[in-house]
Amino acid sequence: MFRSTQTRVHLLSDMEKLDKTLFRLEQGFELQFRLGPTLQGKHVHVHTNYPAKGKKFNSQEFHVLKWINPTGREDDSDKYCRLDLEIAGSYQYYFGCGDEEKTGGGYIVVDPVLRVGHERNILPLDSITIQTYLSKCLGPLDEWLDRFRVAKETGYNMIHLTPLQTLGESRSGYSIADQLELNPEFSQPGKNCTWTDVGNLTEKIRKEWNMLCITDVVYNHTAANSKWLRLHPECGYNLVNSPHLKPAWILDRALWHFSCDVADGKYSDSGLMPLIENEKQLKMLREFLLKDAFAPLNLWEYLQVNVEKAVEQFKKVLQAGGKPDGPEVKGKHKLNIIQDPQYKRFGNTVDMKIALELFGRHTNGPAAIQVCCEWFKKSLEELNVECYKEMQGHHEQAVNCIMETVRYERLAGSGPKLGPVTRKHPLVTRYFTFPFEDMPMEKEKLLLQNPDNACHFLAHNGWVMGDDPLRNFAEPGSNVYLRRELVCWEDSVKLRYGSKPEDCPYLWAHMKKYTEITAKHFCGVRLDNCHSTPLHVAEYMLRSAREHRPDLYVVAELFTESEELDNVFVTRLGITSLIREAMSAGDSHEEGRLVYRFGGEPVGSFVQPNLRPLVPGIAHAMFLDVTHDNECPIKVRSVYDCLPTSAIISMACCATGSTRGYDELVPHQVSVVKEERLYSRWNADGLPSSPGDVNLQSGIMAGKLALNRLHKELAEKGFTQVYVDQLDEDTVAVTRHCPSTHRSVVTVSRTAFKNPKTHHYRERVPPMCIPGQIEEVILEARTVEKDADSYVKDEKYINGMPEYTLELREHLQLSDSKIVKRGDATTKGRNEFVQEIVFDQLTPGSVIAFRVSLHSKSQETVGFLRTQLSQFNRLYKLGSLTDPNVPGILKISFEFLMSKLSLAELNVLLFRCDTEEQDDGGGCYNIPSWMTLKYGGLQGFVSVLSDIRPKNDLGHPFCDNLRQGDWMLDYISFRLMNKGGALREVGKWFNTIFTYLKHIPRYLVPCYFDAIVVGAYATAVDAVFKNMSSFVQHGSTLVKQLALGSVQMCGVGRVPTLPPLSPTLENVPHRLNPTTKQEEQCCVSVAAGLPHFSSGIFRCWGRDTFIALRGLLLITGRHIEARNIILAFAGTLRHGLIPNLLGEGVGARFNCRDAVWWWLQCIQDYCAMVPQGTSILSCPVSRMYPTDDSEPQPAGTVDQPLYDVIQEAVQRHMQGIEFRERNAGSQIDRNMRDEGFNVEAKVNPDTGFVDGSAVEIVGLCKSTVRWLMHLNRNGHYPYSSVSVHRDGEIHAVSYEEWNQRIQDNFEKLFYVSLDPKDPNEQHPNLVHKRGIYKDSYGASSPWCDYQLRPNFTIAMVVAPELFTVERAWGALEVAEKKLLGPLGMKTLDPDDMVYCGVYDNALDNDNYNLAKGFNYHQGPEWLWPVGFFLRAKLFFAKQMGQEVYSHTVCLVKNVLSKHHIHLERSPWKGLPELTNENGQYCPFSCETQAWSIATILEALHDLCDAEDL
């Protein structure tokens, strides 16, 4: 029943574009692609670049996945193709339909598996605790271990190193001069360290310390002084390969010269001094910039066209006889400037063909040509003005950006305060390299003319605030450099890869080698500046890395400010973890919210099934207290906040970490650019004041060790559930809970975003109640000030603040705590222990962590409960305990109990709607704050759980009801215990197992209730199928869902609905009547629909029963029940009819002309489908009404064989039926007209039709007559004819003769020919659709005969011999086009004047066609005709040839898929009676209808048979 493999199912939908949706999966998972409703029945091919077995990954190599159909037949509900995910990385899939290559697709990301130690133990991603080191601060390689030991001894298990390569002139840790060369500073004199040495070190750390190392890869830029860049300037954006940057370069040089002039004091006399100190000087700066720096450049000339030159060219074209192409079309063309690709001043052009179209139409003579040229010139001048305005706009933005930069860098209190403008600190950062001595501007411009010079003017890299990260801001089309919008890194050059390796071979090869070196020696990489790295470049490099290290751990920090854009990077690159930072939180509430956001599920979550839908997720988080390139938290918040923030982060169910210096309380940012000192080394015996040494006495390192250990333990031991509680504005409590052991760890952290010395915090934190028993205080700690010298920045080593230390106490009893006191201990309900905690000394900066378990009794009870649940799911073995006093009923497996139930009893266990329950003296379970459940049986509860479980909606009223009391538990068990027989035992089982459930903490009740009910439900459903036919047992999911409808609809109420069968009949079920204590028959009956037709006299209807019987009972293998229903209705035959409304027989109404024909059809189906089925013909029928005027007779008074009853029914029709209903009038039907109580039915002797009959009755009659003819020939039926009394004589009509009359007349009289001159057409003036079959023949209103309805498809199924194949196919095509809806079929042609597709039974107006639901059959879309339509389609498609048949199978599967979706989503687990137009919900319809379910199941059965042929 349960699977051990974790399987995720992705439903494919036509035109899905999921490239911005993240699907994360783990190695070992199975991914299944299944067809959504838009694709079922279509020829879908799924492609993926996930490598086929034995193949290497190639991102461009896609292969087609093979479809698997477990049942090998029927619909597409179970059809899937699969991937067994064993290789980490990012993979793409796409799919197409038929000849369409691609109609949808997306990505999946498979997480790597990280291993440490000699034993290669798995390091779970959520257990990662990482610490960042600036590589340049590590010193020589042989000193690294001493510095890395700081991370080891403080509990980190991963080290992140900034780039280890040779650095550029700026000494920034991310400005790499040579990507292939190890930084020579790591070598001691006389020894040259290599990458191999680094690799040996990281491997030693992995094996011996159980730690992993990752490092940065920087693809977006290189140091401006990189030697290889001088040799290969094509690797950057220079003025040769990127001439669009020329205007920006000229502006950049002009700004440099202007800055130099300001620095040299040339503007001092005008009031603009080198030291800018106020807004007045900024305003003055703006004016000088515009006047002296921008205006002289005339940069608009790069956008403009040379008017005189263009006009002269145009004139020559006109003089040469140039004419426009074709006639004038106003508004078709517009003159635009074509940008010169080399960006020369006035180098732009226009399209002369368009110029001719616009200005060259009237050129008859020199004067006219001159006029045309003037028009053309005026247009060009207007275009140039627009270009001028465009450039002025760029200038305005550039000046604004410059002013904001100067304001921040020189005036802002939070800025760097650069001081006077100098050449070292110019007014603005240069955007381009200039590898020459300074020279006048005019000479610099001349350098542009020489490509050998221009190629070395390279664009610097940087970032653009609010820019689209998927756009490369250095490419043509972007004006970032011209508009001065780049926050520029002057030490780095932006690299220009192009779109493929061939565009820049050296760069791609160089960076690939760099990547390979990194992947060889490190287990993972951090993608620096990921959001600005071209995606295709990063994809290529990471593919190369994964070739060398398949389980590459990839982390990145993105600044897209959009989860959707984040997903693009994560999915395309296969990023494992995204860096998130606590410093982004503005208060403790937000910090707690981030913990909840980045991992884990709610405490008390439902157990999810192993096979479940693939749902979008968010990227796995690496949650850091601070990243290495952000401001120091001590400056931004306070030194007291370092510990509580670390504690909050350590409780997150994701990777966590920090940067070196945070734990030591370094009170400033350790700058990646400016820092040159070394990290301190580990010295366990060193004094806190010793320069260059650190140990657990330093900063908060001892606390970090305890927190990191705790974080690792929580991840490794399965504490996957998280709860965050905000105790007050500064205090956050985080709970991590283990769902198998139900142990918890609770940390309470009082943050100190502001310094307690200067900020007033409230004196008391509110008490907290912790559910369970507190086993111990894991740790309590706080940052305190001590008597020590104040911080002095050491010249050689990066040192922390000696004046602060940590008070840490670990593994205490609660009574020994200095921070909290034990409050009141209370017991809520049974064995739910709650401990109140009073915070005595939880000062700002304090942390306390508790280990909590359930009360011993609760823990024991949970263990007993898990033992019982393990019969449903092996998962519950973990944490299970054996109850020495287990009640006897629980020693019996639930599967065994189910094996003792009949399908009628399973109807009670699983279903029964509210009216059925009320009929039995009860009702369905009601949740006062919400609603009444759909069923009293398990399905009512499972339908709700199925909706809330995937979302873990623990706040749902259903869950609230479970937590608040035992009412739901008692309802389920007592309802069953009040029944007799085997159901009582099932009720005892529930009552006993719920006793366990009542004695566990209430917050756990919903998840364990779900486990009990869903496990029991699944077992019961399995038992249902074991009692059904092999078609159901081996059928698809849709087949089984529909087959459950047989149990849903077929049951026995308090009073048996069917009249008693003959006492001589065998295999009739009996029960003891609880009131009379007498034995009585208890045959199942078929409810017409739920909830409206489910109980009492309105439960059972002849037409409904026998339309549904073949699907619900014969196909499902319930042959005895089918026989009993057939015989019961046979016993009520009167006037040659069976009842429409059965009314238990005694209240029957015989006002339905077609019910008897459906009954006869079912007897025929029974004989054909049931082994020795013809034996039913000899079964005794107890006639309730031996004559038309008889009073109801007790069973056994008059018995006849069924074949006599059949003969009577057919004989009476041939003779003619005419009577008035008994008790006619308002007492039996207040809506019926008086004439409606008169019933007539007779057979036309010329045609063989029942006069005025609907087409389906003619088909059913033909089917019956043909069947009786064959039965008689084969000796199974004693009658060969019927006799008619006419004019005092008896006339015999043989079945063979009757059969032939119908055959000869059907198409002649029912088919509406495509030929308007068809001589058989009696009313050509009434025809409004041709190529169809009439709905009736001989109707009292002739126009009704010609209405297009779906009923003719019934005749096609039961009597296909009546139809010519081509005509039948044409009529079915019309029906498909005009009548087929999403779920049902329109009951009337929408082109008909009385069509109305919305059924409103409550409407009370003067519109006769609509009031009181009169349009019931005039347009609303009924579901049951769909089954016959599909069956007819399949039958005739086979006659039309293989191609048509294949196309039809696709249609059938696609139609059925919509029913499958409805079944899955409906809480009723059924198909409705009808819908309003276009599938809209109809509130007046039964939510689930017997014949709807039955006929769809019949279509599936035919599809199966057809595919087996």
Residue range 609-636, pLDDT digits in tens:
999 999 999 999 999 999 998 899 999 9
1322 pLDDT band (50/70/90 cuts)?
confident
pLDDT score for 1326: 93
Q: At what angle do helices 1202-1215 and 1255-1273 cross, to 10 degrees?
A: 130
Measured CA to CA, the distance from residue 1120 to residue 1066 in angstroms comes to 10
Q: For a pLDDT cut of 70, what percent of the chain falls above it? A: 98
**Do 823 and 837 contact (CB within 8 A), yes or no?**
yes
**Do 570 and 619 contact (CB within 8 A), yes or no?**
yes
Measured CA to CA, the distance from residue 916 to residue 180 in angstroms comes to 79
For residue 83, the surrounding DSSP H or E stretch is strand 80-84
Strands 1070-1072 and 1050-1051 come out as unpaired
For residue 620, the surrounding DSSP H or E stretch is strand 620-624
Mean pLDDT over residues 82-91, rounded?
96
Whether residue 421 is predicted with pLDDT greater than 60 in this model: the reply is yes
Strands 744-750 and 1281-1286 come out as unpaired
**Do 623 and 128 contact (CB within 8 A), yes or no?**
no
Report the phi/psi class of residue 265: left, alpha or beta, with left for phi > 0 and alpha for psi in -120 to 50. Answer: left
1506 pLDDT band (50/70/90 cuts)?
low
**Do 318 and 361 contact (CB within 8 A), yes or no?**
no
Measured CA to CA, the distance from residue 1502 to residue 95 in angstroms comes to 29
Q: What share of the chain is helix, strand, coil (3-state, %, to 5)?
A: 40, 20, 40
pLDDT score for 1508: 45
Average pLDDT of the chain to the nearest whole number: 93
Q: Which of 1469, 489, 588 is nearest to 1038 (CA)?
A: 1469
Q: Which of 736, 745, 710, 652 is nearest to 126 (CA)?
A: 652
**Do 1202 and 1176 contact (CB within 8 A), yes or no?**
yes
Measured CA to CA, the distance from residue 1255 to residue 1310 in angstroms comes to 8
- For 484-569, strand residue ranges (E) read 486-494, 524-527, 553-556
Mean pLDDT over residues 441-452, rounded?
93
1217: amino acid identity, one letter: I
pLDDT score for 978: 93
pLDDT score for 1213: 93
Q: What single string gives the DSSP state of each residue in 1068-1085?
A: --EEE-TTT--EEE---E
Q: What single string gives the DSSP state of each residue in 1183-1228?
A: -S-SSTTPPP--TTSSEEEHHHHHHHHHHHHHH-EEEE-TT-STTT
Backbone angles phi, psi at 1415, to 5 degrees: -85, 20
Mean pLDDT over residues 277-305, rounded?
95
Whether residue 1411 is predicted with pLDDT greater than 80 in this model: the reply is no
Whether residue 910 is predicted with pLDDT greater than 80 in this model: the reply is yes
Structure tokens at 410: 């020189």
Structure tokens at 1114: 């014969």
pLDDT for 535-564, tens place per residue?
999 999 999 999 999 999 999 998 887 888
Burial class (CB in 10 A: 0-12, 13-18, 19+), 1030: exposed
pLDDT score for 2: 39
Whether residue 1312 is predicted with pLDDT greater than 60 in this model: the reply is yes
Q: Which of 838, 837, 651, 659 is nearest to 749 (CA)?
A: 651
Measured CA to CA, the distance from residue 976 to residue 998 in angstroms comes to 18
261 pLDDT band (50/70/90 cuts)?
very high
Q: Give how far Cα 269 sits from Cα of 274, 283, 288, 426, 822, Å.
A: 11, 16, 13, 19, 75
Measured CA to CA, the distance from residue 650 to residue 627 in angstroms comes to 15
Mean pLDDT over residues 874-891, rounded?
93
Whether residue 1022 is predicted with pLDDT greater than 90 in this model: the reply is yes
Q: Which of 1288, 1287, 1332, 1305 is nearest to 1244 (CA)?
A: 1305
pLDDT for 559-595, tens place per residue?
887 888 999 999 999 999 999 999 999 999 999 999 9
SS3 (DSSP) at 460: strand
**Do 653 and 600 contact (CB within 8 A), yes or no?**
yes
Q: At what angle do helices 981-998 and 1005-1026 cross, to 10 degrees?
A: 160
829 pLDDT band (50/70/90 cuts)?
low
**Do 580 and 623 contact (CB within 8 A), yes or no?**
yes
Q: Give how far Cα 1008 sits from Cα of 73, 351, 740, 869, 895, Å.
A: 37, 75, 11, 9, 19
pLDDT score for 41: 86
SS3 (DSSP) at 491: strand
Mean pLDDT over residues 345-361, rounded?
91
Mean pLDDT over residues 1044-1072, rounded?
94
Mean pLDDT over residues 231-252, rounded?
97
Whether residue 1409 is predicted with pLDDT greater than 80 in this model: the reply is no
As a dihedral over the C-alpha atoms of residue 740, residue 741, residue 743, residue 744, rounded to 10 degrees, the angle is -20
Q: Name, in order, each residue with C-beta under 8 angstroms of 1349's C-beta and a sequence gap of 6 or more.
A: 1335, 1379, 1387, 1388, 1389
1088 pLDDT band (50/70/90 cuts)?
very high
Angle, CA of 335, 337 and 341, to the nearest 5°: 150
Beta-bridge mates of residue 46: 95
pLDDT score for 1509: 35
Greatest mean pLDDT among 179-183, 371-375, 1057-1061? 179-183
Whether residue 1503 is predicted with pLDDT greater than 60 in this model: the reply is yes
pLDDT for 675-711, tens place per residue?
999 999 999 988 877 889 999 999 999 999 999 999 9
Measured CA to CA, the distance from residue 916 to residue 910 in angstroms comes to 13
pLDDT score for 1221: 79
pLDDT score for 331: 62
Angle, CA of 819, 821 and 827, to the nearest 5°: 140
Structure tokens at 508: 């791609």
Report, as residue numbers or ranges, the catalytic residues: 528, 531, 629
pLDDT for 1267-1288, tens place per residue?
999 999 999 999 999 998 888 8
Q: Which residue has the tokens 């995937």?
A: 950
**Is this prediction's pTM over 0.75?**
yes
Whether residue 606 is predicted with pLDDT greater than 80 in this model: the reply is yes
Mean pLDDT over residues 1404-1424, rounded?
79
3 pLDDT band (50/70/90 cuts)?
very low
pLDDT score for 506: 98
Sign of the dihedral through C-alpha 984, 987, 991, 992: positive
1055 pLDDT band (50/70/90 cuts)?
confident
Mean pLDDT over residues 353-372, rounded?
87
Sign of the dihedral through C-alpha 1047, 1053, 1058, 1063: positive
pLDDT score for 959: 97
